[in-house]
Amino acid sequence: DWTPKAMVEELVEDVRERVGDARAICALSGGVDSSVAGALVQRAIGDQLTCVFVDHGLLRAGEAEQVKQDFVDATGVDLVVIDAADQFLDALAGVSDPEQKRKIIGREFIRVFEQAARDVVTDRGDEQHPVKFLVQGTLYPDVVESGGGTGAANIKSHHNVGGLPDDLQFTLVEPLRLLFKDEVRQVGTELGVPDGIVQRQPFPGPGLGIRIVGEVTRERLSILRAADLIAREELTAAGLDGEIWQCPVVLLADVRSVGVQGDGRTYGHPIVLRPVSSEDAMTADWTRLPYDVLARISGRITNEVPDVNRVVLDVTSKPPGTIEWE
Ligand code: XMP
């Protein structure tokens, strides 16, 4: 019989057995999966674990602050925050292919973690116990969609599955790799992770980097960050967070269209709203949001965000579309 309690006990036991008295770091993204993986591994091995949150410059507004407060307050986990925005954005310069972007982001993540792992050991003055394990919140759908499951085609190389380098210095610990999202949420609740984190909508590890169709630049990121914040504010204000699975906000950076704003012609970018309803992200339908909410989001984005003169709604299910645009 599947119960969250039994599942937690089993997973904790597995992790203890695997990790022994070694040290581990957890790649914390602030999302549900990595938070629950971190809390689970902390339950198993306590302060042998350090969580590492990388600010890769591809975060949404307010995200780093939220992780520092919410997650640390709730779990008391040992957290290191690393500002690596320049490193990631330099590595992404000139790249617009989505799979390339994911590979680069995955590679830079690992570089940052390798450095963080060395620093943790040095800081603690415990050279006897180097970091051997890297904890990731990989879920079953990530495994399947990256071609690691039952012979499924490689749809997207999710950075935490397909994008790892061959010479990885860590052994991966992925305690959630056989679970679906709803099961992970139940496990998180059982572990005492607060609702604010457990019910959080999914957000991809490569962040806004795969929501800019085209090259990622600082300027484009700031446009997208502003538009995304408006959409999130309005969806929350309308009480719709529980009804949508997630709502990617996408910047079509290489597309321009003519508009008229203020005293003249504009030639700006479209923003796409992609609200979806789903059970497990394997399939999804586009969410029928109320027109007045869409109107408010559109009105605010075109008024408040420079260089955006059009807001469009994605009305495609998955399949044939994916949830993200890249
Ligand atoms: P797609 O776009 O494949 O998304 O329908 C399915 C779910 O996975 C998330 N997603 C990712 N998560 N790294 C991640 O950690 C990735 O590269 C990635 N790509 C998509 C997406 O947000 C959705 O929840």
Predicted confidence at residue 150, as pLDDT, reads: 45
The per-residue pLDDT for 147 is 65
- The alpha carbon of 118 is separated from its chain's Cα centroid by a whole number of angstroms, namely 25
Residue 164: the pLDDT is 64
- Mean pLDDT along residues 15-41: 94
Q: Give, as one character, the DSSP assignment of residue 207.
A: G
* Statement: residue 158 has pLDDT above 60: no
pLDDT tens digits, 281-309: 999 999 999 999 999 999 999 999 999 99
Average pLDDT, the chain: 92
β-strands 285-286, 276-277: how paired? antiparallel
Phi, psi of 27 (to 5 degrees): -80, 95
Residue 149 has a pLDDT of: 46
Q: What is the mean pLDDT of residues 136-150?
A: 77
- When comparing pLDDT for 154 and 84, which is higher? 84
Same topology between domain 4-198 and domain 211-313: no
Q: Which residues, listed in sequence order, are joined to residue 312 by a DSSP beta bridge?
A: 272
How many beta carbons lie within 10 A of that of residue 107, not counting itself? Answer: 15
The answer to whether residue 100 scores a pLDDT higher than 80 is yes
pLDDT band of residue 251 (cuts 50, 70, 90) is: very high
Ligand 1 within 6 A of 323 CB? yes
**Ligand 1 center from residue 46 Cα (angstroms):** 30
- May I ask the CATH class of domain 4-198? alpha beta
Q: ipTM of the assembly?
A: 0.99
Instruction: Provide mean pLDDT across the span 148-165.
Output: 52
Ligand 1 close to Cβ of residue 156 (< 6 A): yes
Model confidence at 145, in pLDDT bands (50, 70, 90)? confident
Q: What's the rounded mean pLDDT across residues 6-34?
A: 94
pLDDT tens, residue by residue, 56-79:
999 999 988 888 888 888 888 999
**152: pLDDT confidence band, cut at 50, 70 and 90?**
very low
Q: Please tell me the distance between residue 204's alpha carbon and the centre of ligand 1 in angstroms.
A: 5
Average the pLDDT over 140-163 and give the result.
Answer: 60
Q: Is the pTM of this model over 0.90?
A: no
Indicate if the alpha-carbon torsion angle 36, 171, 326, 177 is positive or negative.
negative
Nearest CA to ligand 1 atom 10: 204
Residue 272 predicted with pLDDT over 80: yes
Q: How far apart are CA 182 and CA 276, in angstroms?
A: 16
Cβ(158) – ligand 1 distance below 6 Å? yes
Tell me the CATH number of domain 211-313, given options 3.20.20.330, 3.30.300.10, 3.40.50.10490, 3.30.70.270: 3.30.300.10
Q: What is the mean pLDDT of residues 6-33?
A: 94
User: What is the rounded CA–CA span in Å between residue 45 and residue 51?
Assistant: 12
Distance (Å) from CA 186 to ligand 1 centroid: 20
Q: Say what the pLDDT of residue 103 is.
A: 95
- Ligand 1 atom closest to the Cα of residue 326 is 2
* Residue 159 Cβ contacting ligand 1 at under 6 Å: yes
Percent of the chain with pLDDT over 70: 94
Regarding predicted confidence, which is higher, 154 or 93? 93
Residue 80, pLDDT > 70, answer: yes
Is the pLDDT higher at 126 or at 91? Answer: 91
| Binding residue ranges | 29-35
- Sequence ranges of the domains in the chain: 4-198, 211-313
